[in-house]
Chain A
Amino acid sequence: MLKTILAARETLLLVAVLLLLLLVSSRFPAFIEIDNLVKVLTDTSPLIILALGQMLVIVTRCIDLSVAANLALTGMVVAMLNTAAPELPIVFTLLIAVSLGAVLGAINGLLVWRLAIPSIVVTLGTMTIFRGTIFLISDGQWINAHEMSEHFSQFPRGSVAGMPVLAWIAVLVTITAWIFIARTPTGRAFFAVGSNPHASVYTGIDVGRTQCIAFIISGALAGLTGYLWVARYAVAYVDIASGFELEVVAACVIGGIAIAGGQGSVVGVLLGAIFLGVVKNALPVVNISPFWQLAISGAAILIAVAFNSRSSQSRGRLILKEAEQST
């Protein structure tokens, strides 16, 4: 029963995405050409990767507002590393990005776990600290395209079977996340902790530790995205991806992740991110006044969330017929 409701919600979202595509293509037919759809997917990839990390955090009743700052800091570090050692193979760059991101995520996780500070406060703090750190290490300077080595900035652009590496990484992360959540004890623990922390303690799950793991994974994915972002736009500076954390949370919410924790699916998040990605890519081509664009993005989020909360309302079972009649 629960399964069918979940399935229905994702179907609804899929229909919404398809309707949106249809609407856009009625004004701009070239938008739904395969070529362009691949571009949209590539453009949405950073959002998908970050939203999947965020999903784990939200499912455990926390929130990670530091993802965009983590992305920017990791991006700056790998870019600076690249200027210092241009010949470093890309595998090491990726490894460094993921590990640094994970370390930054672990700072969040440990503060939430060991000091029991609410996650919104912790990540609001670390968000500012991370941004400040970028300024300190970079001295406010930009790292520009001509200072990056060829293989560093070209890696996410490289085409494999007609799709850029960046999009393939998003696909890979999505599949891994799906298997991880559905098939591993840790993956299931996130949901247990989010639905009922007290009950999960009795089943032997360490709530704080599970939340910490969620933050580490979210951080690692943010770190990975940090490198991809800097390489894709071929520039690193203090303010990259500023405000992006809210878009990531929005993708999760649209995708049906319950902010109160315990509920959500990988497919939902994927569709939520794609929905936002389509909106973002469609607005510039359908010739809507820039003054309206923000309002339209916002309205789309509200409508999607309203749909979600309606469809996820589970009707309570009536156990006192008389009581209902008497009121």
Chain B
Amino acid sequence: MRAMKKLLTSVAVATALISGTADAADKRIAIVVKALGIGFFEAAAKGAEEAAAELGDVEIIYTGPTDTTAEGQIEVINALIAQRVDAIAISANDTDALVPALKKAMSRGITVISWDSGVAAEGRSMHLNPSSNALIGNMIVKLAADHLPEGGDVAVLSATTTSTNQNIWIEEMNKVMGDYPGINVVGTVYGDDLADKSYREANGLMQTYPDLRAIIAPTSVGIVAAAQAVADAGKIGEVNVTGLGLPSEMAGAIESGASKSFAIWNPIDLGYSATMLAYNLSQGVAEAKPGAEIPMGRMGSLTLDDKNEGAMADPFVYDASNIEQFKSIF
């Protein structure tokens, strides 16, 4: 089994190698993902190709192990070092396990950045986050407000009372409520990331607040369950469900109209930005240090914080106009 995995990994790397001998003058940037065959990363690769086409002299090596293990990624990294690529942009399966291999790459003059899922600070020059807590907090209330020009009551359906991510996002959301006059958050309930409890809580919200106009669910289980509850209560058009969700899971809710829009990162933009950053760093256009501003093409520029991390952009909004394109991706 292990031998089989090794073989498959080498085949994947070899394929990348063969396709990668087109032009010796090209800068070669390796996009290393958690595992091959995952829709999200295939979409990121598409974005990387887009960046390469824009830059002209770049060749993308899209690679990764066949399953999501750190060992598999280490083999891939070693192969890339042997190939003397110019830069490696990686979404890591393990924060610490990849550090020695990536350090080796950096000592050979290869630019290493992490994106999506980060590597410990000593194993990369910088990390690209898809978004930041503040941007997400603002986005979830903006999504609700955009469809309520006259304002109205909205409620939050979260995961558990102790979910760190959701609590931070809701806190960030409350900070910017002043920018959305007329939007009135009447309550926060917790669906515990269980479909049945979230469904029941959403029903409870609609009963308790007859004037409710939107439910904000910053959790993928909650948003799906709330959309179903709204549809079953016959309140489509009256109560809009929004928040954070995955296009594949929310396609039905967008189609039925229970949700007008929702947000999550855009993998295409993420792959595009990672490539742009890796290129600019390897070309010496910018240096990865706290406070640095690194250009990333059509996505603007990235400002690094004191941990050499930066947030790409607002979460990307999905609605009826683009759900068809993304629902098969992730």
**With A157-B232, A284-B204, A285-B207 known to touch, is A146 a contact of B195 (CB < 8 Å)?**
no
A145→B224 contact, CB < 8 A: yes
Contact status B208-A144, CB under 8 Å: no
Q: Is the Cβ of B200 less than 8 Å from the Cβ of A233?
A: no
A39, CB-defined interface residue at 8 Å: yes
Q: Which residues of A contact B327 (CB under 8 A)?
A: 146
* CB-CB contacts below 8 Å: B120-175 with A: 161
Expressed in whole angstroms, the minimum distance between the Cβ of B259 and any Cβ of chain A is: 11
A270-299 CB contacts (< 8 Å) to partner B = 280-281, 283-285, 287, 290-291
Which of B70-78, B82-90, B245-253 contacts its partner? B245-253
Identify the closest chain A residue to B252 (Cβ).
A145
What residues of chain A lie closer than 8 Å to B205, measured between beta carbons?
Answer: 284
Smallest distance from the beta carbon of A68 to chain B beta carbons, Å?
A: 11
Q: In the bound complex, what is the Cα–Cα distance between A137 and B267 (angstroms)?
A: 26
Against B, the Cβ 8 Å flags (1 = close, 0 = not) of A30-52 are 11000010010001000000000
Residue A311 CB within 8 A of the other chain: no
Quick one: which of A36, A146, A281 contacts B252, CB cutoff 8 A? A146
Contact A146 B251 (CB under 8 A): yes
Least CB distance from A45 to B in Å reads 12
B252 touches A234 (CB 8 A): yes
A147 contact set on B, CB distance < 8 A? 252
Chain B CB within 10 Å, residue with most, of A142, A242, A244, A285: A285
- Enumerate chain B residues within 8 angstroms of A39, measured Cβ to Cβ: 203
On chain A, the residues within 8 Å of B256 by CB distance are 145
Whether A180 is near chain B, meaning CB under 8 Å from some CB there, is no
Contacts of A284 in B (CB 8 A): 189, 200-201, 203-205, 208
Which single member of B195, B204, B252 contacts A285 (CB below 8 Å)? B204
B:179-215 near A, CB below 8 Å = 187, 189-190, 194-196, 199-201, 203-205, 207-208
Cα A243 to Cα B197 in complex, Å, equals: 12
Quick one: closest B residue to A47, CB to CB?
B196
Tell me if A142 and B204 are in contact (CB < 8 A).
no
How far is the CB of B188 from the nearest CB of chain A, in Å? 8
Q: How many residues of A contact B (CB 8 A)?
A: 30
**Known contacts being A144-B224, A146-B255, A157-B232, is A30 close to B207, with CB within 8 Å?**
yes
User: Quick one: which of A142, A145, A229 contacts B228, CB cutoff 8 A?
Assistant: A145
Kindly list chain A residues whose C-beta atoms are within 8 Å of the C-beta of B194: 239, 241-243
A205-243 interface mask toward B, CB cutoff 8 Å, 1 = contact, 0 = none?
A: 000000000000000000000000100011100011111
Taking CB atoms, residues of chain B closer than 8 Å to A30 are 207
**Closest Cβ neighbor of B188 among chain A residues:** A290
Flag if B196 contacts A234 (CB, 8 Å): no
Contact call A144/B251, Cβ cutoff below 8 A: yes
Does B225 belong to the interface (CB within 8 Å)?
A: yes
Max chain B C-beta neighbours (<10 A), residue from A229, A242, A284? A284
Chain B nearest CB: distance from A71 CB in Å? 11
Cβ B196 vs Cβ A290 within 8 A: no
A89 to chain B, nearest CB (A): 22
- Name B208's contact: one of A145, A242, A285 (CB within 8 Å): A285
For A241, the chain B residues whose CB sits under 8 A away are 194, 196
Which of A31, A146, A233, A285 is within 8 Å of B225, CB to CB?
Answer: A233
In the bound complex, residues from chain A placing their C-beta under 8 Å from that of B204 are: 281, 283-285
**Please, how many angstroms separate the alpha-carbon atoms of A28 and B250 in the complex?**
32
Within 8 Å CB of A31, what residues of B? 207
Q: From B194, which residue of chain A is reached at the shortest CB distance?
A: A242
A280 adjacent to B200 (CB under 8 Å): yes
Q: Is the CB of A233 within 8 A of B207?
A: no
CB distance from A233 to the nearest CB of B (A): 4
Are B196 and A235 in touch, CB under 8 angstroms?
no
Inter-subunit contact B207/A291 (CB<8 Å): no
Which residue of the partner chain B has the closest CB to A243?
B194
Within 8 Å CB of B208, what residues of A? 28, 284-285, 287
Residue of A nearest to B256 (CB): A145
List chain B residues, Cβ under 8 A from A235.
Answer: 195, 224-225, 228, 249
Are B200 and A291 closer than 8 Å at their CB atoms? no
Contact with A142, one of B187, B207, B249 (Cβ below 8 angstroms): B249
Question: How far, in angstroms, from A235 to B223 measured CA to CA in the complex?
Answer: 12
Within 8 Å by CB of A233, from B161, B203, B228, B255, lies: B228
CB proximity of B236 to chain A, nearest CB, Å: 13
CA of A281 to CA of B229 in the docked complex: distance in angstroms? Answer: 13
A279 to B148, CA, bound (A): 34
**B220-258, CB under 8 A of A: which get 1 and which 0?**
000011011000100000000000000011111101100
**How distant is the Cα of A147 from the Cα of B255 in the complex, in angstroms?**
12
B248 touches A281 (CB 8 A): no
Give A143-164 as 1s and 0s: 1 = Cβ < 8 Å from B's Cβ atoms: 0111100000000010000000
Instruction: List B contacts of A239 (CB < 8 A).
Output: 194
User: B245 to chain A: closest CB distance in Å?
Assistant: 10
Chain B residues within CB distance 8 Å of chain A:
161, 187, 189-190, 194-196, 199-201, 203-205, 207-208, 224-225, 227-228, 232, 248-253, 255-256, 327
A sample of 20 more A-B contacts (CB under 8 A), given A233-B195, A281-B200, is A28-B208, A36-B207, A142-B248, A144-B224, A144-B251, A144-B252, A145-B253, A233-B199, A235-B228, A235-B249, A242-B194, A281-B203, A281-B204, A284-B200, A284-B201, A284-B205, A284-B208, A287-B208, A290-B161, A290-B190
Would you list 29 pairs from A and B whose C-beta atoms are within 8 A, ordered by A residue? A39-B203, A142-B248, A142-B249, A144-B248, A145-B224, A145-B252, A145-B256, A146-B255, A157-B232, A233-B196, A233-B225, A234-B224, A234-B252, A235-B195, A235-B224, A235-B225, A235-B228, A240-B195, A241-B196, A281-B204, A284-B189, A284-B201, A284-B203, A284-B205, A284-B208, A287-B187, A290-B189, A290-B190, A291-B161
Interface residues of A (CB under 8 A from B): 28, 30-31, 36, 39, 43, 142, 144-147, 157, 229, 233-235, 239-244, 280-281, 283-285, 287, 290-291
Going nearest first, the 7 A-B pairs with the smallest beta carbon separation are A284-B204, A145-B252, A146-B252, A146-B251, A233-B195, A290-B190, A285-B204
